[in-house]
A and B are shown apart, each in its own frame.
Chain A
Amino acid sequence: MKAFEESVRDENMLARRRQRVKEQISAWALLSPFIIILVLFSVVPFVMGFVYVFLRYDPYDVGATQFYGLKNFEMLFNGDISMSQSFWESFGPVTVYALCTFPIGTIISFVLAYFINMRPPGYKFFRACIYLPSLVSISIAGIIFCNFFGPKGSGLINSLFGTDIDWLGGKPFQDDFLRWVIILLLCIWGGVGGNFVIYAGVLNDIPKSLYEACEMDGGGRWRQILHVTLPCMKSTLSLTMFGTVVGMLSLYGQPYVLNTIENKDILVSPMMWIQKYLMGGLTYAKLTGFICAAALVLGIISAALGFIQRKVMADRRPGAKYCAEYARYAELKAQSADYKGGAD
């Protein structure tokens, strides 16, 4: 009898184990297309980015591959070579520009989100209108803005005001201030929508009781924004802001589509530099290792920015803690106020 029970238990265990093995196999089988594509097309290029930098690699002539050591980096950090010089120079305009753009863009999207959260009639329509430009491709936006700021006789602004301003001309750090203003406009026009929608979502999640508590303490609208809204949004704000800065480093489309014939080939961002030489085809194919080294430098810089962001967020634990503390504090104060009111 006992032996029979044991054999049944064994069979059950065996069946369960078989089932588990089957599930194991089918899980990996179902995951395999995802894993294979991810590894082949994303992980392998990423890893090769650390390999090619040590090689002289020509994709059209693989047989001629040589080990180069640190030669590619020596070339990159050698200011005498015009290619590497233009790479380092391209960081200049883009950094200045990023420092100007991201406060402006953040403030505009925050203000718009704040107003949309008051829920005026038709707010869904307004929200859609403000978000719509984010879906317009950079090529279309470039065509429209080039027609806006075109030369006299074809540009909207110039003929509207009867002026003759060369909006899109000029060289970096010399006379292309207006061109950067327009790149900024284009970035705001097409880039505000995403952050605006995210901020509106976060604003909507802030409990009304916090505002009421602040109002009871005698806080006006500015105090409410300063002590309730901003602390509650801190984590989202820092996330989107650093995201914007890292995105700025890879600025490409806007300067690519906004130009005149004279400054068509001026490289104003590291991403433009990389893209231009990669698109050079056979001409620059021998320099693959060199271009990979430049991309690696850019990648390390953006990774460092991301790392700083995570550190800042981890140290301060923004948002939630302040919000919770404020809530507790406000609650206590409200209670004591009630108590005093009762005594009167």
Chain B
Amino acid sequence: MQDAKIKKRLTKSQLTTRREKIVSFIVLAIAALIFVFPLIYMVGTSFKSDLDLQMHPENIFPTPGQWTIKHYTGFFINGDGQLDNMPKWMFNSLWSTALTCGLTVLIDLVVAYVVVFLRWKGKQVFMKSLFAWMAAPTVIATAPGLALFQTVKTALGVNNFASTYALVYFWLTIPGIVGVFNVILMYNFFKTIPIDIIESAKSDGASHFKIFLKIVCPLAKSTMLVIVLFTFAASWNNLQGPQLLMAGEGQAIQTITVALAESYGGSSAWGAQGVSMATALFSLIPVLIIFIFTQNRMIEGLASTGVKR
């Protein structure tokens, strides 16, 4: 009698679980399709011929036999046979983003190590001021920051392309590497490393540099990855900051995100559908590659930090 009861209850809960899985599968499949659809449409449109673009904007993919890669070849070499702006924008974005990521991780590692494993006075004050700084509304600093940039630019007498380029990208990458949030992420991870490991390494005569390089850095790999991923995405997609610094300096200096917003954004996108979609897809590739290879770690990293950026 009792056995039958237990069996019945089990099957009931199993049934509920199965029903849950079916319903959630359907709902999520629809949601995923809706969320990805704009990107699929972008891919399809970027391969449409000019005729197709005018006649069939309602089709997701080009008519069979009318696929073209014209929009892609067009933005490497322009009509005059010269290098188009597109590769320049990509290059600007790539190197500045890579530099920002590398320096961010390096600075976060060093700061977190010093705070957690070195003994020095003022540690409490330092951490407290970092936490306080996180709560400060940074919008107050936008206008004065630009004013300072312009003051420095005028004072240095920057007027030709090379020096403007150097100053703009210095101002773009260097302030970006001291994100307090990343430091605190790394600090929280370092606190979970058992101090015994460090102490025993110290008593074996290892220097701090060696401990940092051989013990702490390998342990921090996954936190480093999370920081790199989010710094990469944030830096690549940054629109407001670079837009201010690059205002009125011509197209060659721009990053891909700024250039896309200004050349093909809004009302100007309608004139050149194929090219704008192709350019947009092309600029998405670096982020896409990173996401495809590390998506699970990226998403779990975000979930574990519990704070939206």
Which of A194, A243, A303 interacts with B137 by CB under 8 Å? A303
A70 on the interface (CB 8 Å rule)?
no
CB neighbours of B175 from chain A (8 A): 37, 41-42
Residues of chain B in range 265-309 having any CB-CB distance to chain A below 8 Å: 265-267, 269-270, 273, 276-277, 279-280, 283-284, 287-288, 291, 295-296, 299-300, 302-304, 306-309
> A129-154 toward B: CB 8 Å interface, digit per residue (1/0)?
11111011111111111111011011
Docked CA distance A154–B54 (Å): 6
Docked CA distance A156–B40 (Å): 13
> B29-45 toward A: CB 8 Å interface, digit per residue (1/0)?
10111011011011001
Minimum Cβ distance to chain A for residue B277 (Å): 7
CB neighbours of B236 from chain A (8 A): 137
CB neighbours of A238 from chain B (8 A): none
CB neighbours of A281 from chain B (8 A): 247-248
CB neighbours of B143 from chain A (8 A): 49, 52, 274, 278, 288, 291-292, 294-295
B57 on the interface (CB 8 Å rule)?
yes
CB neighbours of A236 from chain B (8 A): 306
Number of interface residues of B (CB under 8 A): 103
CB-based contact B139/A257 at 8 Å: no
Q: Main secondary structure on chain A at its contact with chain B? A: helix
CB-based contact A140/B280 at 8 Å: yes
B168 on the interface (CB 8 Å rule)?
no
Interface pick from B17-25, B67-75, B79-87: B17-25
Which of B137, B180, B276, B303 interacts with A200 by CB under 8 Å? B303
CB-based contact B58/A160 at 8 Å: yes
Minimum Cβ distance to chain A for residue B208 (Å): 8
With A120-B28, A130-B31, A144-B42 as contacts: A261 and B267 at CB distance below 8 Å:
yes
With A137-B283, A300-B137 as contacts: A34 and B111 at CB distance below 8 Å:
yes
CB-based contact A130/B257 at 8 Å: no
CB neighbours of A132 from chain B (8 A): 35-36, 39, 291
Docked CA distance A115–B31 (Å): 11
Which of A23, A148, A259 interacts with B118 by CB under 8 Å? A23
With A34-B110, A137-B260 as contacts: A243 and B142 at CB distance below 8 Å:
no
Minimum Cβ distance to chain B for residue A86 (Å): 16
Docked CA distance A329–B158 (Å): 70
CB neighbours of B56 from chain A (8 A): 159
CB neighbours of A258 from chain B (8 A): 266
Minimum Cβ distance to chain B for residue A115 (Å): 4
CB neighbours of B147 from chain A (8 A): 48, 52, 57, 59, 288, 292
CB-based contact B20/A118 at 8 Å: yes
Which of B42, B136, B177, B247 interacts with A46 by CB under 8 Å? B136
CB neighbours of A197 from chain B (8 A): 299, 302-303
Docked CA distance A24–B295 (Å): 41
B10 on the interface (CB 8 Å rule)?
no
Docked CA distance A62–B151 (Å): 7
B4 on the interface (CB 8 Å rule)?
no
CB-based contact B237/A147 at 8 Å: no
CB-based contact B260/A139 at 8 Å: yes
Minimum Cβ distance to chain B for residue A341 (Å): 12
CB neighbours of B208 from chain A (8 A): 26
Which of B57, B183, B260, B304 interacts with A201 by CB under 8 Å? B304
Tally A-B pairs: CB < 8 A: 329
A252 on the interface (CB 8 Å rule)?
yes
With A23-B120, A253-B239 as contacts: A60 and B150 at CB distance below 8 Å:
yes
With A261-B267, A275-B243, A292-B147 as contacts: A49 and B141 at CB distance below 8 Å:
yes
Minimum Cβ distance to chain A for residue B254 (Å): 11
Name the residue on B nearest A294 (C-beta). B143
CB-based contact A189/B38 at 8 Å: yes
CB neighbours of B120 from chain A (8 A): 23-24, 27-28
CB neighbours of A83 from chain B (8 A): none
Residues of chain B in range 232-272 having any CB-CB distance to chain A below 8 Å: 233, 236-237, 239-240, 243-244, 247-248, 256-258, 260-261, 264-267, 269-270
CB-based contact A156/B151 at 8 Å: no
CB-based contact A129/B265 at 8 Å: no
Docked CA distance A121–B23 (Å): 11
Name the residue on B nearest A195 (C-beta). B308
Minimum Cβ distance to chain A for residue B274 (Å): 10
Which of B33, B110, B239, B283 interacts with A30 by CB under 8 Å? B110
A219 on the interface (CB 8 Å rule)?
no
CB-based contact A264/B269 at 8 Å: no
CB neighbours of A156 from chain B (8 A): 41, 57-58
> A112-126 toward B: CB 8 Å interface, digit per residue (1/0)?
100110111111111
Report A's interface with B, CB cutoff 8 A. Answer: 20, 23-24, 26-28, 30-31, 33-34, 37-38, 41-46, 48-52, 57, 59-60, 62, 112, 115-116, 118-133, 135-148, 150-151, 153-156, 159-160, 168, 189, 194-195, 197-198, 200-202, 204, 236, 239-240, 243, 250, 252-253, 256-261, 264, 271, 274-275, 278-281, 285, 288, 291-292, 294-296, 298-300, 302-303, 306
Q: A52-B147, A126-B29, A156-B57 are in contact. List 14 more A-B contacts (CB 8 A).
A: A27-B120, A41-B145, A46-B141, A48-B147, A138-B237, A139-B256, A153-B54, A155-B57, A194-B302, A202-B303, A204-B303, A253-B261, A256-B266, A271-B139
Report B's interface with A, CB cutoff 8 A. Answer: 20-25, 27-29, 31-33, 35-36, 38-39, 41-42, 45, 53-54, 56-58, 107, 110-111, 113-114, 118-121, 126, 133, 135-151, 154-155, 171, 174-175, 177-178, 180, 183, 208, 233, 236-237, 239-240, 243-244, 247-248, 256-258, 260-261, 264-267, 269-270, 273, 276-277, 279-280, 283-284, 287-288, 291, 295-296, 299-300, 302-304, 306-309
